[in-house]
Amino acid sequence: MIIAIDGPAASGKGTLGKRLAEHYGFAHLDTGLLYRAVARALMDRDIPLTDRDAAAHAAQNLDVSHLEDDTRLRGAAMGEAASVVSAYQPVRDALLAFQRQFAARKPGAVLDGRDIGTVVCPDADVKLFITASPEERARRRHLELQRRGEQAAYETILEDIRRRDERDMSRSTAPLKAAADALTLDTTDLDADAAFDAALKMVESSRS
């Protein structure tokens, strides 16, 4: 069974993906970490994010063994950088096979990202599109960064989120959008538990 979860930055899709995977005993992949790792590989070598060939090479040779444990991939700056390299078709092509292999894991897998239901797993058993207002997503990201001890102004985060939304939704390669058969969940007014309960009901309704 494959559960595909898409949505914009800080919508809560990653948290929901983890909780749903734990609930069902499935493997979980935050595909955004793949693109963050590609961006980090370039930045570590002082290569501009605009170097498409270098980004493709980094994607083709990416070490995915410790993505979840790499705290450097979680910051706002890396998220912004990932949004840049994720627009390159060769980068997406290089990572596509790995994502689909992961999705084939038994007894099931949960993948969250921006093109899971539309490109990576168009035949997924369940497709969810998680969203929230830009203001609420900025508030969540602000709190998250504060908990990590990182300093960032709310207004700056909100501006970054709106810029990422525009880039992700307008890119020619796998733009962010809900699959035609996806169920949409707006988490703006939901806490983590309420969002999980709502998502779980959607999954169960899709399975029945």
Tell whether 178 is in a known binding site. no
Q: What percentage of the chain reaches a pLDDT higher than 90?
A: 79
Tell whether 12 is in a known binding site. yes
Tell whether 138 is in a known binding site. no
Q: What is the pLDDT of residue 60?
A: 96
Tell whether 9 is in a known binding site. yes
Report the 10 Å Cβ neighbour count for 39. 25
Let me know: does 111 contact 103? Beta carbons within 8 Å. yes
Mean pLDDT of 56-79: 87
Mean pLDDT of 72-84: 86
Q: What is the pLDDT of residue 74?
A: 80
Summarize pLDDT for 116-166 with one digit per residue, the tens: 999 999 999 999 999 999 999 999 999 988 888 888 899 999 999 999 899
Q: What is the pLDDT of residue 35?
A: 95
Tell whether 195 is in a known binding site. no
Return the exposure string of 182-194: e unless at least 16 CB atoms fall within 10 Å of the residue's CB, then b. Answer: bbebbbeebeeee
Q: Strand order of the sheet with strand 27-30?
A: 27-30, 109-113, 2-6, 126-131, 183-186
Q: What is the pLDDT of residue 208?
A: 67
Tell whether 25 is in a known binding site. no
Q: What is the pLDDT of residue 85?
A: 95
| Domain 2-198: which CATH number of 2.60.120.10, 3.30.465.10, 3.40.50.300, 3.40.190.10 | 3.40.50.300
d(CA 134, CA 10): 9
Query: Does residue 22 have a pLDDT over 80?
Result: yes
Q: What percentage of the chain reaches a pLDDT higher than 70?
A: 100
Tell whether 11 is in a known binding site. yes
Angle in degrees, 0-180, between the axes of helices 52-60 and 89-103, rounded to the nearest 10:
20
